[in-house]
Chains A and B, each alone.
Chain A
């Protein structure tokens, strides 16, 4: 008997295999089949959401089977509120990514569909793993499809970008592998049996000095994935060269693997080291926020601009995690999803523009509003979401992160961090709006832009859901915040080593305040 979580991994995986079996030259069938499979997966994940008990901090839908008992490795999966949201994000973005590639991917459609679905399976696998062997397996397996997506269907410098992506990520994660193996072996010396189970390993008490090394091994792996400044250099290359679908998944989900890893593994496994290093990580995060924003401002290439904006936005997420407060971490998880939606949306829009014009240079555009009013309207919504305008999804996350950071007891300069990070919010408005203005306003200067067609029905189906969710998350944040709160509280308490007072009142006020602010405007 397989549970819903296993089904959630198996459906895209088996579906991907089925797609490969479709005969040659039946691309239309392949596209429909792949989209259908990803929609089934999405429906399954919605079922997961409705059956999820939002009041519980425990892992739910847990499945556990012995796999390699000699090594203490088991197939152990489950979700809590944090991973639930990220799974939803994954299953939401995958059909959109497939749909946006409907016309732009013309060669090797079968392989493309297979890799997208395999990637989806691996991503879901990462989010549900509660065993470190299983987690590492999915974590590494995820690299291969992405590598192919960039390398085969990417733009001019795709090979360079693909190899840089895979080597960079791999170099970071192998040190984590050593740390994982060390943990299991430490568990053996302490208890007599090896174990790779997350809960078992979290129960270990590891001496402080060792925690530092292990934490660093984990943190570097995740920092590269996020990417935290100064480990971000692979990201612009990968983003710029990847096909639209690749960029959407990369920015939408893969980057969150890093922050998810910090929150799920690095911090809870080594709480002492986490408390010690949180201020340093927060410093890097703040540097990343400002640096990413400043670099984004001067990019002539739309995709590069969005890529650097991701560095900046992910800085917020890391900052919120390092605050080690319920507000901060909740904001981070919310921001992970929000960023996935809004940046995914931006990449989709950029993809539509470059499909029409075969360029992504901002200078090539101008005055698009007159030519394609509907596309520009969607573009505008997504831009506002990315800027974190109140009422849109980005605002809730960034607001909670700043709130949580301000009250963080783990850094002597918490207020300074908050202040500097807040400038990032302003800077994001600067680079996004400036870009938006140059692309869409003014008169049409380039004659090639005169006759561009507006959104097609398919493109409506791609960008419509993104806009809807961006607004939904902005006006009804509680639907997303409530299921994760118990899990976040549990994680924060574990990292801080103390139980927090149940200040539910303050929590409600914070979220309620957000909502009021949103509604007022």
Chain B
């Protein structure tokens, strides 16, 4: 083992150590002693960011399968950022919901390590392992409220369907190995390129299975069935974490596999992926309109956003790849912010899950209402928020590739989505509250997290240039 090996895994290692430290702290905690679990997590995540950023411009391979390149650094930082934001927002909410706090942070950190691994490897098997690491953590997090029936149902559903899709994914890897004799993406890519004109049926099957596995993780139609239930049943912030972190990690691997190793088969997967992207946007928005539960609505919204991300993947040009990376960050900041507000509001006696619970929020809690409004407008793609710029990039990439119909579908579905985002805004500002005065105070740290997300939403909305340049740089490193 050399220094380079360790340098490449350093970010994941640091996060894992932080997770272990959290568990140890819990083990040695006296009865009602308070432990700074959040701080341990933040230190670990900050360390991971530092360990990643310091290796910018130096490409390293660790243990033959884990790489540090611009692309993995981009995702390491993004995912660690998601972790930091989730941690900040969880302060107060986790205790209030009577979650086992140490386990909550430890599981989150473990799955973050898995997410980072997912973006940092050029080997299909390691992707699978990473997928399992992140999924196991998230399954447990989903069911963390042991007294909640909905939570148990959500976790069970998510676990069974997730296990099923993992199996399909693994089968895809096996088939790819059967054809090429390797699980390394670069070697696989060379073999696929050789066979691209007349691909083997088994190779096509392998590709389809891998596609299904990824489509499940990013909750693309028709593999989205688990999403609404899991999102609704999980603790609010876990939902926020899932919808942003898992999506980011899954897309990190999705893009790497499909646009490097399987790029030569583009003519084969592109029509399928276009159809999936189109369906995902349509189902996500149209079904979203019918929801009255805000978390379910945001689940369908997350499905729709997966559709927009897939449009970038279908376009597959430099602009599209960079747009995906930008979109992942944009969506993470926006969606986490929105879930942060939801988490700050939901109490046992007023859950703030039904749209009607938001009535009069604009008067009762003007700050929170304004924050949520901005996040919802960003999700709907209004300027000058980052949601607008992110959509602009995605559709720009699509049009450069002459995918006019996908772009038109995309903009039309985003109009439909505006309808349901605005429904909450209508409730907050235009409907009187019938049961006022039972909304909790928000801890300062959580508020700081929301303001941080807000700053990101506006800053990236007005000055998207720097992040976009980094994104372009990052995608350049995997091809």
Please report A residues at the B interface, Cβ cutoff 8 Å. 67-68, 70-71, 108, 133, 136-138, 140-141, 143-144, 147-148, 151-152, 158-159, 162-163, 166-167, 170-171, 174-175, 177-178, 181-182, 184-185, 188
A23 to chain B, nearest CB (A): 13
Cβ contacts under 8 Å, B231 to chain A:
none
With a CB–CB cut-off of 8 A, which chain A residues contact B415? 167, 170-171, 174
List 4 tightest A-B contacts by C-beta distance, closest first.
Answer: A174-B411, A137-B383, A181-B399, A141-B383
Cβ 8 A contact of A137, one of B362, B384, B469: B384
Residue of B363, B384, B388, B399 touching A178 (CB-CB under 8 A): B399
Contact A71 B396, beta carbon cutoff 8 Å = yes
Give A170's nearest chain B residue, CB to CB: B415
Q: With a CB–CB cut-off of 8 A, which chain A residues contact B419? A: 163, 167
Q: Report how far A143 CA is from B415 CA in the complex, Å.
A: 13
CB atoms of A175 and B388 under 8 A apart: no
Q: Please indicate the chain A residues that have their CB under 8 angstroms from the CB of B429 in the complex.
A: 148, 151-152
| Residue contacts A-B, CB under 8 angstroms, 7 given | A67-B465, A144-B382, A148-B429, A159-B430, A159-B431, A166-B418, A185-B396
Q: How far is the CA of A71 from the CA of B426 in the complex (A)?
A: 35
Q: Are B399 and A185 within 8 A (Cβ)? A: yes
Kindly report which residue of chain A lies nearest to residue B393, judged by CB atoms: A71
Known: A144-B382, A148-B429, A182-B399. A167 touches B465 (CB 8 A): no
Q: Contact: B430 with A158, CB < 8 Å? A: yes
| Structural contact, B422 and A166, CB atoms closer than 8 A | yes
Q: How far is the CB of B16 from chain A (nearest CB, A)?
A: 37
B395 CB to closest chain A CB (Å) equals 6
Is the C-beta of B408 less than 8 angstroms from some C-beta in chain A?
A: yes
Interface-central residue, A141, A174, A175, by most chain B CB under 10 Å: A174
Q: State whether the Cβ of B412 lies closer than 8 Å to any Cβ in chain A.
A: yes
Q: Which of B382, B404, B430 contacts A140 (CB 8 A)?
A: B382
Question: How far is B363's CA from A226's CA once the two chains are assembled, in angstroms?
Answer: 34
A137 touches B414 (CB 8 A): no
Residues in B386-420 with C-beta less than 8 Å from chain A: 388, 392, 395-396, 399-400, 404, 407-408, 411-412, 414-415, 418-419
Check A144 against B377 for contact (C-beta < 8 Å): yes
Residues of chain A within 8 A (CB-CB) of B45 are: none
- The docked-state distance in angstroms from the alpha carbon of A294 to that of B18 is 74
Contact status of A178 and B468, CB under 8 A, knowing A140-B383, A184-B396? no
Q: Given A70-B469, A137-B388, A181-B407 in contact, is the A170-B426 Cβ separation under 8 Å?
A: no
A178 to B396, CA, bound (A): 8
Extra inter-chain contacts (6) besides given A137-B383, A175-B411, CB under 8 Å: A137-B384, A141-B382, A151-B426, A167-B415, A181-B392, A181-B395
Given the known interface contacts A159-B430, A182-B399, the answer about A141 and B384 at a Cβ–Cβ threshold of 8 Å is: yes
**Cα–Cα, bound, A68→B430 (Å):** 38
With a CB–CB cut-off of 8 A, which chain A residues contact B414? 174
A407-B429 Cα distance, complex, nearest whole Å: 52
Chain B hits for A185, CB < 8 A: 396, 399-400
Among A133, A178, A184, which residue has its beta carbon within 8 angstroms of that of B407?
A: A178
Could you tell me the distance between the alpha carbons of A140 and B381 in the complex, rounded to whole angstroms?
A: 9
Docked Cα-Cα span, A494 to B65, in Å, equals: 61
Judge whether A163 and B384 touch: CB under 8 Å: no
Contacts of B412 in A (CB 8 A): 171, 174
Find out whether the CB atom of B469 lies under 8 angstroms from the CB atom of A170. Answer: no
Q: Is B345 an interface residue (CB 8 A)?
A: no
Output the least CB separation between A134 and chain B (Å): 10
Shortest distance between the CB of B253 and any CB in chain A (Å) = 26
Chain B residues closer than 8 Å to A151, beta-carbon distance: 426, 429-430
- Identify which of B404, B426, B431, B472 contacts A182 (C-beta below 8 A): B404
Chain A residues contacting B92 (CB-CB under 8 Å) are: none
Determine if B137 is an interface residue (Cβ-Cβ < 8 Å).
no
Q: Point out the residues of chain A lying under 8 angstroms from B430, CB to CB.
A: 151-152, 158-159, 162
Q: A175 vs B404: C-alpha distance in the bound complex, in angstroms?
A: 11
Given A70-B469, A137-B383, A162-B430, the answer on whether A175 and B408 have CB atoms closer than 8 Å is yes
Residues of B within 8 A of A167 (CB): 415, 418-419
Q: Given known contacts A159-B426, A163-B422, A166-B422, is B472 in contact with A178 (CB within 8 Å)?
A: no
B450 → A minimal CB distance (Å) = 17
- Min CB–CB distance A301 → chain B (angstroms): 22
Complex formed: what's the CA distance from A166 to B380 in Å?
Answer: 12
Tell me which residues across on chain A come within 8 A of B62, comparing CB atoms: none
Q: Which residue of B lies closest to A110 (CB)?
A: B366
Residue of A nearest to B408 (CB): A178
Task: Give every chain B residue within 8 A of A163 (Cβ-Cβ).
Answer: 419, 422, 426
* Chain B neighbourhood of A68, CB < 8 A: 464-465, 468
Contacts of B362 in A (CB 8 A): 108
One digit per residue, 1 when the CB lies within 8 angstroms of any chain A CB and 0 when it does not, for chain B 83-121 equals 000000000000000000000000000000000000000
Task: List A contacts of B472 (CB < 8 A).
Answer: 70
Which residues of chain A have C-beta atoms less than 8 A from B377's C-beta?
A: 144
A113 to chain B, nearest CB (A): 14
Contact B418 A181 (CB under 8 A): no
A32 CA to B431 CA, complexed, in Å: 28
Q: In the complex, A410→B101 CA distance in Å?
A: 74
